[in-house]
């Protein structure tokens, strides 16, 4: 009988530590599929963040480095500059990339470093227990905004895809979601494009993925998907924000 | 035998440069040398000074409070450093810009109108080279021909500056031999 | 090749290239910006990598990334910049990657000043970043020695898979002295196929490599820290370097001093010798590992009444001198840390006063 569904070679056998309903697993699988399809596993180096995906290196089967909080783009810069033949990507959450690592991502993008950033936006710090992130929506309750995010005190959520797109340096920037099949198909296309741009030596590429955190949002898996679709996507619209032409 | 030379003046007078050239000449002559600049806020527009140490053995402390010789290209430098010079040292005073003396009777004071001589040689910018030439001619700290080679080497690549600087060297040397007390 | 007259900072940059390191990331800071200026011209000439990062924080991780994928890499900075890089130093040490960091020290704390200082002794030898890690720290006393230490630093970093720090000061960076670049100190990068993330294809392996410092399991972290400790113990056994000076005399006092300060002390020792006042000196060339045994042995001399740590700080190395002396004689400190390097005369007065107090 022909095998119609199998685990990508780039993905390991290890069971993930992610919570039920978390969409990190989907993002991991899409990256692994793309790496398989492009045949680049033997020259790819991933960079794991600090946050829920801190152990991401356990779930892939190629070389990995583990960064400090927010510093993955600087590490990717270091690798890519000395080994342009390697395919390098960072995998970062919203606390990591949009808060403590904002400086590193902006400058790496602005230099046009030829690596790929996969940015998982689920509006909260997951690993540390659901604290407010730079992407937390107005009035959204978190463990450090128990009365809801007060925008008059902490500002509006940061739209990372739009922010990076505003840089003049050519780049590929897209925002997609890993919520339902229709979104997931588009997300994979964006990730593949991002890696292809890197392989062609064209530009920096960043794909923001609208994701869920049912545990810290206090919702069931399905409620979380619906919440992300109804609350996040209107504020964080999907699409391609910048292409290098 | 260790000799220390303090070069001092305004930023822009080429103070660090003549120190550099003398250090090169000292090295070419087979000595141990060290060139220690002033750096930091004072190099940005204010006074500039550097110290060159030339020695026949490994140089210990690069920090020297009392240099043997002084080349003062402006008045504040002379006022600051003249009292520190060791007895019997050479003190070159750029008399084009400095109207006072070192106020010492135990040093070999040399009044050189470096700016005027340089102007006549073709460019006031070469005043530093005039002073350096006068100093070397007087102190004989290195062979004068060697100094000439080092100046030439320094301006290699900017050939049109060489004749002016050669002339400045020559006039500085002559001034040193014709003056002094 | 004959001697050339070079500024310390430029010579450090050239030394790295001559040692076979063609990758440099840095952020400008006085008094070492000339290294970056020099290498921004020089690296393209030799086909190397030069990048000015956006901050010392980022540069620390550029070094980590590049070292992690197996490249020879180095950076230079000065005190406040090293503080920012200390986070990365902790991670790089934890992940066991080789890299060379040069600190051309200036005065502190905070912005401090830009003149020479040795006030980062604790930071370099006792941590700076978090966790149980050590740097192999070498302290040059002149431009030629800085060149040689930089060239030796790369194979040492690879031998231990650990960062090596060259601890100089503003004067070493700014002064010019004649230098030679010994060809025999050029070295080939060591094989790193068993740990570096160089790409599985590149090293023809089906096993992936992982560069990380995270060990959530207590037993694993314990074992990891034991491995690191064993490396640092090996450094203590194999890498101690120091220069004895005037130890053949019957010295009344032993000076312990390093870097620029030790040159001033050497002049002081020479002047005192002429006066008939003998003083010995141990000049640590490695600050970690520290020449504890050499100092302990030196103070056993019958004539030696006191050990004096002379440093451009308010008393940091003196704690290691005390540890080394093990109570065999009194230990004193003399120093300054505002930016004025003490003169030989000041050193002489200090040493004489300490000896006098004891008589």
Residues of chain C with C-beta less than 8 angstroms from the C-beta of B32:
178
pLDDT of residue C330: 97
User: If you count DSSP H runs as helices and E runs as strands, how many of each does chain B have, helices first?
Assistant: 6, 6
The answer, for C175 touching chain B at a CB cutoff of 8 Å, is yes
The angle that helices B144-154 and B127-139 make with each other, rounded to 10 degrees, is 160
Chain A residue closest in CA terms to C205:
A42
- Beta-bridge mates of residue C306: C253
Residues of chain C with C-beta less than 8 angstroms from the C-beta of B34:
175-177
pLDDT of residue C95: 98
Distance from CA of C60 to the nearest CA of B (A): 26
Tell me whether strands A63-66 and C242-245 are parallel, antiparallel or unpaired: unpaired
Burial zone of C89 (CB within 10 Å; 0-12 exposed, 13-18 middle, 19+ buried): buried
Burial zone of C121 (CB within 10 Å; 0-12 exposed, 13-18 middle, 19+ buried): buried
Closest CA to A44 of A55, A53, A56, A31: A31
Largest CA distance in chain B: 43
The tens digit of pLDDT for each residue in A191-229 reads 999 999 999 999 999 999 999 999 999 999 999 999 999
Please state, in angstroms and rounded to a whole number, the distance separating the CA atoms of residues C25 and A78. Answer: 8
At B108, which helix (H) or strand (E)? Answer: strand B108-112
Residues of chain C with C-beta less than 8 angstroms from the C-beta of B27:
3, 5, 178
Q: Tell me which residue in A43, A64, A74 faces C53 most closely, judged by beta carbons.
A: A74
Q: Tell me which residue in C5, C270, C343 faces B63 most closely, judged by beta carbons.
A: C343
Q: Tell me which residue in B27, B37, B61 faces C267 most closely, judged by beta carbons.
A: B61
| Confidence category of residue A111, pLDDT binned at 50, 70, 90 | very high
Closest CA to C171 of C142, C205, C212, C201: C142
What's the predicted TM-score (pTM) here?
A: 0.96
**CA separation (Å) from A111 to A87, A171, C26, C60, C62?**
17, 10, 15, 17, 14
Encoded tokens for A54: 């801190």
Residues of chain A with C-beta less than 8 angstroms from the C-beta of C54:
103-104, 107
Distance from CA of C263 to the nearest CA of B (A): 5
Please state, in angstroms and rounded to a whole number, the distance separating the CA atoms of residues A102 and C245. Answer: 52
Taking the alpha carbons at both ends of chain C, their separation in whole angstroms is 53
The tens digit of pLDDT for each residue in A60-84 reads 999 999 999 999 999 999 999 999 9
Chains C and B lie in contact, requiring 3 or more CB pairs less than 8 Å apart: yes
Distance from CA of C155 to the nearest CA of B (A): 28
- Beta-carbon separation of A64 and C208 below 8 A: yes
The answer, for B6 touching chain C at a CB cutoff of 8 Å, is no
A87 neighbors A199 (Cβ within 8 angstroms): yes
What ranges make up the beta strands (E) of chain C? 4-7, 23-26, 49-52, 74-77, 99-105, 136-138, 163-169, 176-179, 210-211, 242-245, 253-256, 279-284, 286-288, 306-311, 331-335
Given a cut of 60, is residue A49 above it in pLDDT? yes
Provide the mean pLDDT of chain C.
97
Neighbouring residues of B38: CB distance < 8 A, sequence distance ≥ 6: B47, B48, B49, B50
The tally of CA atoms less than 13 A away on the side-chain side of residue C20 is 16
Chain C residue closest in CA terms to B55:
C177
Chain B residue closest in CA terms to C30:
B40
Q: Tell me which residue in A54, A55, A65 faces C65 most closely, judged by beta carbons.
A: A65
Chain C residue closest in CA terms to A75:
C65
Please state, in angstroms and rounded to a whole number, the distance separating the CA atoms of residues B151 and B166. Answer: 8
> How many cross-chain Cβ pairs, A to C, lie less than 8 Å apart?
132
Q: How far, in whole angstroms, is CA B21 from its chain's centroid?
A: 9
List chain B pLDDT tens, one digit each, 181 residues.
899 999 999 888 999 999 999 999 999 999 999 999 986 555 555 678 999 999 999 999 888 889 999 999 999 999 999 999 999 999 999 999 999 999 999 999 999 999 999 999 999 999 999 999 999 999 999 999 999 999 999 999 999 999 999 999 999 999 999 754 3
- Beta-carbon separation of C31 and B37 below 8 A: no
Q: How far, in whole angstroms, is CA C211 from its chain's centroid?
A: 25
pLDDT of residue A4: 83
Residues of chain A with C-beta less than 8 angstroms from the C-beta of C197:
45, 63-65, 79
Chains contacting C (3 or more CB pairs within 8 Å)? A, B
CB atoms within 10 A of CB A125: 24
Prior bond of C109 cis (ω within 30°): yes
Prior bond of B73 cis (ω within 30°): no
Chain C residue closest in CA terms to A80:
C66
- Beta-carbon separation of A78 and C198 below 8 A: no
Please state, in angstroms and rounded to a whole number, the distance separating the CA atoms of residues C214 and C220. Answer: 10
Please state, in angstroms and rounded to a whole number, the distance separating the CA atoms of residues B83 and B174. Answer: 27
SS3 of residue C323 by DSSP: helix
In chain C the domains, ranked by start, together with CATH numbers, are 4-238 (3.40.50.970), 242-358 (3.40.50.920)
C258 neighbors C141 (Cβ within 8 angstroms): yes
Q: Tell me which residue in C5, C31, C113 faces B24 most closely, judged by beta carbons.
A: C5
Tell me whether strands B47-55 and B2-10 are parallel, antiparallel or unpaired: antiparallel
Please state, in angstroms and rounded to a whole number, the distance separating the CA atoms of residues C145 and C259. Answer: 10
Residues of chain A with C-beta less than 8 angstroms from the C-beta of C210:
57, 63-66
Closest CA to A118 of A40, A185, A200, A24: A24
Residues of chain C with C-beta less than 8 angstroms from the C-beta of B52:
none
pLDDT of residue C251: 98
Residues in chain B: 181
Distance from CA of A44 to the nearest CA of C (A): 6
Prior bond of C19 cis (ω within 30°): no
Q: For the domain A24-242, what is the CATH superfamily, name and number?
A: Thiamin diphosphate (ThDP)-binding fold, Pyr/PP domains (3.40.50.970)
At B168, which helix (H) or strand (E)? Answer: helix B162-178
DSSP secondary structure letters along A56-115:
GGGGBSSEEEE--TT-HHHHHHHHHHH-TTSEEEEEEEHHIIIIITHHHHHHHHHHT-S-
Question: What backbone torsions phi and psi does residue C164 show, to the nearest 5 degrees?
Answer: -115, 135
Encoded tokens for C226: 């034991």
Neighbouring residues of A150: CB distance < 8 A, sequence distance ≥ 6: none
pLDDT of residue C83: 98
Please state, in angstroms and rounded to a whole number, the distance separating the CA atoms of residues A35 and B56. Answer: 66
CB atoms within 10 A of CB A49: 28
DSSP state of C273: H
Please state, in angstroms and rounded to a whole number, the distance separating the CA atoms of residues C142 and C282. Answer: 16
Q: In what order do the strands lie in the sheet with B108-112?
A: B108-112, B90-94, B69-72, B2-10, B47-55, B32-37, C176-179, C4-7
Interface of C with A (CB under 8 A): 23, 25, 49, 51, 53-55, 57-69, 71, 73, 87-88, 91, 95, 197-202, 208-214
pLDDT of residue C324: 98
The tens digit of pLDDT for each residue in C240-277 reads 999 999 999 999 999 999 999 999 999 999 999 999 99
Please report where in the chains the tokens 């992610």 appear, as a residue. A18
The tens digit of pLDDT for each residue in C20-69 reads 999 999 999 999 999 999 999 999 999 999 999 999 999 999 999 999 99
Tell me whether strands C74-77 and C99-105 are parallel, antiparallel or unpaired: parallel
Chains A and B lie in contact, requiring 3 or more CB pairs less than 8 Å apart: no
CB atoms within 10 A of CB A202: 17
B11 neighbors B46 (Cβ within 8 angstroms): yes
Residues of chain B with C-beta less than 8 angstroms from the C-beta of C343:
61, 63-65
At B33, which helix (H) or strand (E)? Answer: strand B32-37
3-state helix, strand, coil in chain B (%, to 5): 45, 20, 35
Residues of chain C with C-beta less than 8 angstroms from the C-beta of A75:
61-62, 64-65, 68
Q: Where are the domains of chain A?
A: 24-242
Given a cut of 60, is residue A105 above it in pLDDT? yes
Distance from CA of C200 to the nearest CA of B (A): 49
pLDDT of residue B45: 54
Distance from CA of A234 to the nearest CA of C (A): 34
The angle that helices B162-178 and B144-154 make with each other, rounded to 10 degrees, is 150
C252 neighbors C278 (Cβ within 8 angstroms): yes
Please state, in angstroms and rounded to a whole number, the distance separating the CA atoms of residues C97 and A193. Answer: 33
SS3 of residue B74 by DSSP: coil
Please state, in angstroms and rounded to a whole number, the distance separating the CA atoms of residues C166 and C155. Answer: 14
Neighbouring residues of C291: CB distance < 8 A, sequence distance ≥ 6: C240, C241, C242, C282, C284, C324
pLDDT of residue B41: 53
Question: What backbone torsions phi and psi does residue C221 show, to the nearest 5 degrees?
Answer: -65, -40
Q: Where are the domains of chain B?
A: 2-178
pLDDT of residue B181: 38
- Beta-carbon separation of B60 and C341 below 8 A: no
Distance from CA of B37 to the nearest CA of C (A): 6
pLDDT of residue A245: 79
Class of domain B2-178: alpha beta
Given a cut of 80, is residue C1 above it in pLDDT? no
Closest CA to A69 of A91, A96, A99: A96
In angstroms and rounded to an integer, the radius of gyration of the C-alpha atoms of chain A is 17
DSSP state of A163: H
- Beta-carbon separation of C115 and B63 below 8 A: no
Chain B residue closest in CA terms to C141:
B60
């Amino acid at each position: 009988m022909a095998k119609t569904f199998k685990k990508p070679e780039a993905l390991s056998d290890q069971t993930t530590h992610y919570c039920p309903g978390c969409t990190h697993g989907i993002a991991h699988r899409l990256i692994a599929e793309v790496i398989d399809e492009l045949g680049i596993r033997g020259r790819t180096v991933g960079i794991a963040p600090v946050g829920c995906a801190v152990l991401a290196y356990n779930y892939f089967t190629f070389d990995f480095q583990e960064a400090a909080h927010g510093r993955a783009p600087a590490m990717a810069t270091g690798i890519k500059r000395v080994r342009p033949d390697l395919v390098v990507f960072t995998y970062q959450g919203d606390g990591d990339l949009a808060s403590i690592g904002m400086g590193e991502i902006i400058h790496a993008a602005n230099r046009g470093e030829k690596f790929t950033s996969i940015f998982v936006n689920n509006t909260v710090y997951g690993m540390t227990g659901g604290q407010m992130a730079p992407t937390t929506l107005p009035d959204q309750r978190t463990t450090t905004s128990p009365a809801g995010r007060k925008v008059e005190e902490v500002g509006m959520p940061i739209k990372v895809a739009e922010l990076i797109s505003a840089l003049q340096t050519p780049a590929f920037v897209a925002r997609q979601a890993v919520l339902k099949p229709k979104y997931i198909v588009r997300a994979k296309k964006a990730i593949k494009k991002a890696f292809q741009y890197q392989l062609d030596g064209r530009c920096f590429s960043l794909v923001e993925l609208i994701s869920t955190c049912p545990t810290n949002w206090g919702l069931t898996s399905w409620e979380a998907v619906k919440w992300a679709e109804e609350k996040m996507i209107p504020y964080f619209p999907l699409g391609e924000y910048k292409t290098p032409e | 035998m260790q000799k220390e030379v303090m070069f001092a003046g305004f930023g822009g007078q080429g103070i660090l440069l003549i120190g550099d050239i003398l250090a090169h000449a000292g090295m070419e002559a087979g000595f141990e040398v060290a060139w220690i600049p002033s750096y930091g806020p004072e190099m940005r527009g204010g006074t500039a000074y550097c110290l060159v140490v030339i020695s026949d053995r490994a140089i210990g402390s690069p920090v020297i409070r009392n240099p043997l010789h002084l080349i003062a290209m402006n008045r504040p430098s002379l006022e600051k450093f003249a009292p520190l010079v060791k007895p019997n040292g050479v003190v070159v005073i750029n008399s084009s810009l400095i109207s006072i003396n070192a106020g010492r009777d135990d040093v070999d004071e040399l009044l050189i109108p470096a700016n005027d001589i340089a102007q006549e040689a073709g460019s006031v910018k070469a005043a530093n080279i005039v002073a350096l030439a006068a100093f070397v001619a007087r102190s004989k700290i290195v062979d004068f021909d060697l100094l000439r080679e080092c100046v030439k080497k320094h301006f290699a690549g900017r050939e049109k500056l060489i004749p002016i600087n050669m002339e400045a060297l020559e006039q500085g040397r002559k001034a040193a031999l014709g003056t002094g007390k | 090749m004959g001697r050339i007259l070079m500024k310390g900072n430029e010579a450090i940059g050239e030394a790295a290239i001559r040692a076979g390191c063609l990758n440099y990331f840095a952020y400008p800071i006085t008094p070492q910006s000339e290294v970056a200026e020099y290498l921004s011209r020089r690296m393209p000439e030799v086909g190397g990598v030069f990048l000015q990062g956006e901050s010392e924080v980022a540069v620390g991780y550029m070094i980590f990334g590049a070292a992690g994928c197996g490249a020879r890499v180095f950076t230079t900075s000065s005190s406040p910049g090293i503080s920012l890089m200390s986070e990365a130093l902790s991670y790089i040490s934890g992940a066991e990657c080789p890299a060379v960091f040069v600190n051309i020290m200036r005065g502190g704390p905070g912005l401090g000043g830009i003149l020479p200082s040795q006030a980062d002794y604790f930071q370099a030898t006792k941590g700076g970043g978090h966790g149980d890690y050590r740097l192999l720290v070498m302290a040059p006393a002149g431009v030629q020695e800085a060149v040689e230490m930089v060239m030796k630093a790369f194979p040492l970093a690879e031998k231990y898979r650990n960062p090596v720090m060259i601890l100089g000061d503003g004067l070493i960076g700014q002064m010019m002295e004649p230098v030679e670049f010994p060809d025999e100190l050029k070295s080939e990068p060591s094989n790193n196929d068993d740990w570096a993330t160089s790409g599985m294809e590149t090293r023809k392996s089906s096993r992936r490599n992982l560069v990380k410092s995270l060990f959530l399991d207590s037993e694993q972290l314990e074992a990891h820290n034991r491995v690191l400790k064993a490396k640092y113990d090996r450094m203590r056994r194999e890498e101690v370097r120091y220069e004895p000076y005037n130890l053949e005399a019957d010295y009344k006092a032993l000076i312990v001093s390093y870097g620029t300060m030790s040159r001033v002390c050497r002049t002081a020792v020479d002047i005192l010798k002429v006066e008939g006042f003998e003083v010995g000196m141990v000049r640590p060339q490695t600050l970690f590992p520290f020449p504890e045994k050499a100092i302990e042995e030196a103070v056993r001399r019958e004539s030696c009444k006191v050990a004096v740590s002379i440093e451009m700080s308010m008393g940091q190395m003196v704690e290691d001198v005390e540890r080394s002396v093990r109570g065999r004689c009194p230990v004193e400190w003399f120093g300054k840390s505002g930016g004025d390097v003490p003169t030989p005369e000041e050193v002489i007065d200090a040493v004489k006063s300490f000896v006098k107090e004891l008589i």
